[in-house]
Every structure is written in C-alpha cells, then in structure tokens.
Amino acid sequence: MQVVCLDLEGVLVPEIWIEFSRRTGIVELARTTRDEPDYDKLMRFRIDLLARHGLKLADIQAVIEGMGPMAGAREFLDALRARFQVLILSDTFYEFADPLMRQLGRPTLLCHRLETDAQGFVTRHVLRMPNPKKAAVEALKSLNFTVIAAGDSYNDTAMLGAADAGFFIHPPESIVAQFPQFPVTRSYEQLAARIDEASKRLP
C-alpha cells in the first residue's frame, strides 16, 4: 500500500510568486522557500509587500489564470496516478491553486488558506497546521501506508525525511549541498525511475 506525495510549485507548476514578481516588476516578490526557509516569515514579508504596492488577491489570481503546469507535468502525474495514490502537499493556498489543479486533472491537494479584507487585500495567511507536509506523511504511515515523496526546496526536506523514500527534483545546488542525503533527479523521467525503484524495494 504505497502513496506518492509531491510538492506543487517548482515540481509540477512554476513558482507562482516568481511569475507574479516578473509580471509586476517587484523583484522582492521573487523570494521563495529556496531563499527563505522560514515560511511564516516569508509570507508576512509577501503580504506586507502586496499592501505597500496596492496589490490585491485578484491581481495574483489574474496572473495564475494565465499560467500552466510545467512541460510534461500532467503526463508524469497521470502515469503516477495510474499506479499509486498521489497527494499534492503544498505550501500554496486554495485561493491560488484552482486554475492549476484543473489543468492537472484535479489531484488531491492539501495546502493553506488566505484571508482578505472587504476591499480584497490579503490580510493574513492561515497555515493549516505547523509543518503540514511532514505531519501528512507521518499520518499516512500511521495508517500503514508506505510513502514515497518528492520536492524541490527547504520546506520539503522534513517531508522527504519522514517518508520511506524521499527525492529532490530539480532543486537548486545550494539546497542539494545542505541535504546530501536526498537523491537528486533533474527530470520527470529520472524521478519516475527513482519512484519505481523505491516501489519495488519498499513494502
């Protein structure tokens, strides 16, 4: 009984905040968990920047509507789902993710929520729980599932460590150097092969 858990941004879809930064010209919004491992701190920084520049949730959603999955992501995900139960464990927000989930065939997504005021400005990020990716993996293991996980960034390392097998997919070299225990893959083909290998050796 095996489950595959995947991160979303940087793994199956482009980084939303990087794309929004590019569209708005606000360089500071390009910071991600590859740059700042404290996600709570990163989100407070982002929300403050949005307020200072007069940008609303609808402005971000408009950019997301024009985005799509990474090349090959839908095919990779479809092939995985034909063989495994697959969960997307992400630090994105439900208010962001719907257009991208639609294009990915609506896999199950566990993430967070945003709160907005009457004018549509983001006022607060509401984390589902502390360290939710690791908690989800541990919960699945407590239900006697074997978990294989893949991600690309700092905020995925606890998930990868908790899984029965954990892999990086196209991570930056700075993160690879800090977490050499996780095998690195650079394409969906390489990751699929690693998952297949793990599946054969794990119960």
The catalytic residues are: 7, 9
Q: Which two tokens stand for residue 188?
A: 């969906």
Residue with tokens 């940087």: 10
What b/e string do you get for 136-174 counting C-beta neighbours within 10 Å, with b at 16 or more? Answer: bbeebeeeebbbbbbbbbbbbbbbbebbbbbbbbebeee
d(Cα 66, Cα 203) in Å, to the nearest integer?
A: 41
> How far apart, in Å, are the Cα atoms of 33 and each of 21, 116, 138?
15, 23, 22
Report helix, strand or coil for 169: strand
The token pair at 54 is 């007069």
C-alpha 194/C-alpha 189 separation (Å) is 9
CA 109 to chain centre: 10
